[in-house]
Structure 1
Amino acid sequence: MGDKHCIRFEPVGIELEVTEDEKILDAAFGQGIHLMHGCREGQCSACKSYVLEGDLQMERYSTFACNDAEVEEGYVLLCRAHAFSDCTIELLNFDEDELLNSAPLQEITTEVVEIVAHTHDIAGLTLRPSVPLEFKAGQYAELTIPGTEQCRSFSMASTPSTTGHIEFLIKKYPGGRFSALLEDGLVAGDSLQLRGPYGNFTLKKGHVLPLVLMAGGAGMAPVLALLRHLAETGDSRRIRFYYGARTVADLFYLDEIRALGEGLADFRFAVALSESADGSGDLGVVAEPGLVTDVVEAREPELHGSEVYLCGPPPMVDAALALAARQGVPDDQVFYDKFTTAVGD
């Protein structure tokens, strides 16, 4: 274990102690400080901050998240950064309400309850935790690949009210080390180690603006968690949910989404089918051909007056962020999870 150093975050005035072998973001989680973050692998830039003073070094990271010129200027990714002196760091992206008021990080043992094929490439995994996991709807957790020290991150589709189980929706990748276990390897009764919660893709306390929810693929998981929580709490806001898929065969959970919507004051749901809309007339929901961002652009001319929640594969999220920018949605009204894929996922 290396020497310990003090990290001070501005403009919030929060301090933490970190050893040289700890990444700053991990040390913050361990001390109950919930910094903004995304992939935690140096790929997404959500934790990018500015070094005002001190000696920091980063592990391997993507130059798309923090390019060489930015590093030279003093920018750093906290998920990759180690401190070798006392440091003062300016947070560029933070939520004061969540910094010290988020659920603590937990490491728990879970038991596999069920594995269900929702589509040809998305599986549902339900786990029973040994102790209740404290988290917020929309967050994610790490699952350890059995027999290894490698972890994979997946968003939770369940809400904190379902203390007896935790549900994940997982995209299966050819040759993926974890997703392959959902086909052959994991069975009911098996144990999995879980660490979490992580993520800032959560409903913000006290916010009253209308909501536009957008998801694609396994991005359904955290958005469904938000929708379930909104229904549980009887939220009265205008809520619109848009889900993007390739074909009708890639849709799932339609019945539950309809049922949740019936308990909300002002809810509408629409799906966008990018490759084929054949058979969509029998779905019982609004279905339109095209990309989900095209459907949202056509149906939400006042997008700037809403809070926008986005989750899915990077191309979808990038297109949705561009749409939000074109429509003049303020940055503090846009929340997103951009799914990245670990090597051998």
Structure 2
Amino acid sequence: MGDKHRISFEPVDIEMEVDEDEKILDAAFRQGIHLMHGCREGQCSACKSYVLDGEIQMERYSTFACNDAEVEEGYVLLCRAHAFSDCTIELLNFDEDELLNSAPLQEIRTEVLELVPHTHDIVGLKLKPVDPPGFEFKPGQYADLIIPGTDEHRSFSMATTPATTGHLEFLIKKYPGGRFSSLLDDGIEAGDTIHLRGPYGNFTLKKGHVLPLVLMAGGAGMAPVLGLLRHLADTGDTRRIRFYYGARTPADLFYLDEIRALGERLTDFGFVVALSESDEGFGECGVPAERGMVTEVVEAGESELHRCEVYLCGPPPMVDAALALAARQGVPDDQVFYDKFTTSVREDE
């Protein structure tokens, strides 16, 4: 362990201790402080903050998340930052309701209950918490799954809610050569042990908010949105809710029956599929479907996006296009929440 230092966060008047060997964001999680974050790999800029005083150095990060000029000016990514003195840091993005009131970081041992192939490249993984026998989180959050036999992890969003009893569900996209996803075909089976750490993420419903919701997802981005929808239905939310899901072809669609059933439990729900590579099979979807990218379909269908809270989840190109759409439509930054499924600094998944 290295020397310890004090970190003071402004303007929220919160202090914590950090070891030189640990990243500032990890130290915050350890002490129950829920700072804004996303990929935790230095790629998404969600944890970007400003150093008012003190010495901080960063591990490798993407200059797209924090460019050289910003670094020279004093901006840092807390997920990559180490403190080498007492520091004062200005938080640029924070949620006062969640800073000290989020679910605590937990490490648990789970048992694989089931693997369910949903499409040719998306698999459902159901895990049963064993030790301890429960896991506290908020709908929309994600967890790190430790690759069996290694110290490495991969991050996946949960599709279940805290009200789900007996299991946690993850929807995982398979990548050729992926260290974790390749095990879904050969290497992981029912009864196996997988260790889990979390929860992480700010892709959560905000307490007391009443604006209509527009949810956009693509690929395995279905997972946290499904978690939100399940929770909204369970709690009897009465807001206008629209869910747009982007896929290439009808063969890439799944969970349509459950989404339809959840919609029947909600007061004002609409679901539209956007198919980017197929004009065939629309009638086979069983739900409204349109040709085009999901952002194009949303732009055509949502004339008052600026009056909504917008939740975006999926691969980086989709999320980036959706963020650009939100900016064009004048959606305030504090009404946009996103989870970008980056491939991290690792090239294998």
Same fold (TM > 0.5) = yes
Which residue pairs with 1:101 in the alignment?
101
Which residue pairs with 1:128 in the alignment?
128
Counterparts of 2:179 and 2:89 in 1: how far apart (Å)? 37
Q: Secondary structure at the match of 1:188?
A: coil
Aligned residues: 345
Q: Secondary structure at the match of 1:288?
A: strand
Q: In the alignment, is the contact (CA less than 8 A) between 1:133 and 1:163 conserved in 2?
A: no
Which residue pairs with 2:164 in the alignment?
162
Which residue pairs with 2:66 in the alignment?
66
Shift of 1:304: 0.7
Amino acid paired to 2:199: P
Counterparts of 1:21 and 1:163 in 2: how far apart (Å)? 38
Counterparts of 2:331 and 2:41 in 1: how far apart (Å)? 28
Which residue pairs with 1:17 in the alignment?
17
Which residue pairs with 2:308 in the alignment?
306
Q: Secondary structure at the match of 2:312?
A: strand
Identity %: 82
Counterparts of 1:146 and 1:86 in 2: how far apart (Å)? 38
Which residue pairs with 1:263 in the alignment?
265
Which residue pairs with 1:276 in the alignment?
278
Q: In the alignment, is the contact (CA less than 8 A) between 1:215 and 1:223 conserved in 2?
A: yes
Q: Secondary structure at the match of 2:303?
A: coil
* Matched ranges for 1:154-233 at <5 A: 154-233=156-235
Query: CA deviation digits over 1:5-45, x for unaligned, max 9?
Result: 00000000100001110100000000000000000011111
Shift of 1:164: 1.1
Which residue pairs with 1:27 in the alignment?
27
Which residue pairs with 1:39 in the alignment?
39
**Correspondence 1:334 to 2:336:** yes
Amino acid paired to 2:271: F
Shift of 1:283: 2.0
Counterparts of 1:43 and 1:147 in 2: how far apart (Å)? 27
Counterparts of 1:177 and 1:339 in 2: how far apart (Å)? 16
Q: In the alignment, is the contact (CA less than 8 A) between 2:313 and 2:338 conserved in 1?
A: yes
Amino acid paired to 2:324: A
Counterparts of 1:277 and 1:4 in 2: how far apart (Å)? 60
**TM-score, normalization by structure 2:** 0.98
Counterparts of 2:278 and 2:135 in 1: how far apart (Å)? 40
Query: CA deviation digits over 1:283-341, x for unaligned, max 9?
Result: 22100000000000011001111000000000000110111111111111000001111
Query: CA deviation digits over 1:35-89, x for unaligned, max 9?
Result: 0000001111100000000000111111111111111100000001110100000
Query: CA deviation digits over 1:247-292, x for unaligned, max 9?
Result: 0000000000000000000001000000003111122210000000
Which residue pairs with 1:138 in the alignment?
140
Counterparts of 1:173 and 1:122 in 2: how far apart (Å)? 10
Query: CA deviation digits over 1:87-117, x for unaligned, max 9?
Result: 0000001000000000000000000000111
Comparing 282-291 with 29-38, greater Cα deviation is found at: 282-291
Counterparts of 1:12 and 1:47 in 2: how far apart (Å)? 15
Comparing 333-342 with 30-39, greater Cα deviation is found at: 333-342
Counterparts of 2:269 and 2:100 in 1: how far apart (Å)? 32
Question: Which ranges in structure 2 are unaligned for 5 or more consecutive residues?
Answer: none
Q: In the alignment, is the contact (CA less than 8 A) between 1:293 and 1:320 conserved in 2?
A: yes
**TM-score, normalization by structure 1:** 0.99
Counterparts of 2:34 and 2:119 in 1: how far apart (Å)? 34
**Correspondence 1:147 to 2:149:** yes
| 4+ runs deviating over 6 angstroms | none
Counterparts of 2:25 and 2:190 in 1: how far apart (Å)? 34
Counterparts of 1:144 and 1:291 in 2: how far apart (Å)? 34
Coordinate RMSD, CA, aligned = 0.6
Q: In the alignment, is the contact (CA less than 8 A) between 1:313 and 1:340 conserved in 2?
A: yes
Q: In the alignment, is the contact (CA less than 8 A) between 1:216 and 1:244 conserved in 2?
A: yes
Q: In the alignment, is the contact (CA less than 8 A) between 1:110 and 1:129 conserved in 2?
A: yes
Q: Secondary structure at the match of 1:225?
A: helix
Q: In the alignment, is the contact (CA less than 8 A) between 1:132 and 1:163 conserved in 2?
A: no
Query: CA deviation digits over 1:109-132, x for unaligned, max 9?
Result: 000000111001110000001121
Q: In the alignment, is the contact (CA less than 8 A) between 1:248 and 1:277 conserved in 2?
A: no
Comparing 157-166 with 7-16, greater Cα deviation is found at: 157-166
